[in-house]
Structure 1
């Protein structure tokens, strides 16, 4: 009886959540072969679930008030199709899917008054959170130790927070502060693998992501002498990247390879100024920009007890500074290792970086 087994090769890359178009393609021919060439009895089992929840609440403590609203939805589905000939299971196809969505919202407000000294304070905070996830797993199990599996998964996220504070006193001092932060992202990973018993196995996986964040501040104050100060600031950042891995073996020959790329971009700006009581303005503006690019490639080829070759290269580029002047840097690394007949390996590398230009041999 063919049963699901773990991959037999250490060179199969780990596959996290991913789609299996190959598994679905093989499932079709396997079913057709079972139902047309040989009249096999088919067994189809389906299970699923649906769950949801919603909760809310409010609280009042003196002049402070808070509340929340949370909710979620979760669904799962599983389909198993198998074909048997006598007491022998000829094939089995498994498909699992799961989806989850959650959201939460909260708020807080406060109010403070001192009738004796005269200070007044008020503020609020709002938070919003949203996250989703989806995953699908497919597999086909055939006789003679042949397994085909595939997975895919996605996870988007969003978070937003806003704070506002107002304060003042009887002497004419007032202060207003407002802050906003937000972050969003999307992560995706996938993988497929084919296992042909002890003969051969191959697997591939991929990951992609994109993240972004923003924060902004507005801070204004008025002093008792009628001077007004103001400060603003903002920070924006984004990051994207991807990686792909491939590995496997055919008999005594095994190998793997990996490629990744990434990019980051950030901006930070601000203003600080004062309006003097006589109407004279003073102020200063600041700007900062940062950027980075990176890429790596690595791999290995191994023939058992005969040859082992490993190598890799890494490139990094960076720049930072204000809008009028940027300072850049770069680094290039290369490494190679070679071993024959289980002997001590020969290895070396070269690194080039700058500025200033620097070359290093290893």
Structure 2
């Protein structure tokens, strides 16, 4: 009778046990990239992906079927040597007339604009919307971005800075009745130069709101900037083909300080008021125009 070796059912040889994690790692993405059936549920799930060198991409889509109200969701993920990001969207449809959707994006990146410089950044954006019968829509979007970087040597030439930006937009469309739109833009920039003995901070803001309700149009816009040390306002109110009024203001903070005002009005297309003036000081002066 020959020799027999007794093994337990869960036994793995040493080489196989050591290679198992690698085999599972390679088999994992292949299994995840296949479409996944959901049996009798009215739900479809599709997953796809690819990888090469230091690049990786993955897509996932989920959607309902055979239901009065349908929903869909999409997810995309990317990974590279100098960037990583994720984007996802969600869409809900209530039959033919109604729809609601939302989405967001996130991106992290690293760049070298020139030799010796390193810049890291983060960008994020969001969007939302509702579409209803009779041409009524409501949309909203925003984006925020920030970057910080360093260039040079600590022994002498050194530059460092940080940037922050944010934009947003909102709109409501009331079909034949009119529409309202609001926009906003803000930015902030901080810099250190030389031997960190000079600091600079700049900020800029711009906001505007406009709307059309029947024959009436209105607009209001403001802007402020510490880089230019200015402050501006502009507004309009008009009824189509009947009358219109407008006003604008601008201020400059410096030496001297100035403030300008412009006012105008029209009736049946003919100007009835068109006045402006500027105040500055010190010394105090008042001049037309």
Asked if these proteins are the same fold (TM beyond 0.5), I'd say yes
Q: Find out whether 1:74 has 2:88 as its counterpart.
A: no
Cα distance, 1:97 vs structure 2: 1.3
Describe the superposition over 1:135-164 as per-residue Cα deviations: whole angstroms up to 9, x where unpaired. 111110000000000001001011210237
Q: Find out whether 1:186 has 2:164 as its counterpart.
A: yes
Q: What 5-or-longer segments of structure 1 have no aligned partner? A: 1-39, 55-70, 109-125, 165-176, 218-232, 265-291, 319-327
Cα distance, 1:105 vs structure 2: 5.9
Describe the superposition over 1:205-263 as per-residue Cα deviations: whole angstroms up to 9, x where unpaired. 2122211011124xxxxxxxxxxxxxxx8322101232221110110011110122232
Superposition RMSD in Å = 2.1
1:198 is paired with a residue whose SS is: helix
Q: Find out whether 1:204 has 2:231 as its counterpart.
A: no
Q: Find out whether 1:162 has 2:162 as its counterpart.
A: no
CA separation of 1:134 and 1:342: change in aligned 2, threshold 3 A: same
Cα distance, 1:356 vs structure 2: 3.8
TM-score (norm 2): 0.72
Q: Which of 224, 227, 236 lines up with 1:261 in the alignment?
A: 224
Corresponding residue for 2:78? 51
Describe the superposition over 1:40-88 as per-residue Cα deviations: whole angstroms up to 9, x where unpaired. 811001112111111xxxxxxxxxxxxxxxx10121111111011xxxx
Higher-RCO chain (CA-CA 8 Å, sequence separation at least 6): 1
Corresponding residue for 1:310? 246
Corresponding residue for 2:109? 102
Q: Distance in 1 between matches of 2:168 and 2:222?
A: 15
Q: What 5-or-longer segments of structure 2 have no aligned partner? A: 1-66
Cα distance, 1:295 vs structure 2: 1.5
Corresponding residue for 1:299? 235
1:336 is paired with a residue whose SS is: strand
Q: Which of 134, 138, 141 lines up with 2:128 in the alignment?
A: 138
Q: Distance in 1 between matches of 2:170 and 2:272?
A: 33
1:248 is paired with a residue whose SS is: strand
Q: Distance in 2 between matches of 1:343 and 1:93?
A: 45
Q: Which of 96, 100, 108 lines up with 1:93 in the alignment?
A: 100
Structure with the bigger percentage of strand: 1
The count of residues paired between Structure 1 and Structure 2 equals 223
Q: Find out whether 1:245 has 2:208 as its counterpart.
A: yes
TM-score (norm 1): 0.58
**Is the Cα contact below 8 Å between 2:138 and 2:171 reproduced in 1?**
yes
**Is the Cα contact below 8 Å between 2:264 and 2:271 reproduced in 1?**
no
Corresponding residue for 1:330? 257
Q: Distance in 2 between matches of 1:351 and 1:132?
A: 43
Q: Distance in 1 between matches of 2:176 and 2:204?
A: 35
Q: Distance in 2 between matches of 1:161 and 1:345?
A: 58
Cα distance, 1:106 vs structure 2: 9.5
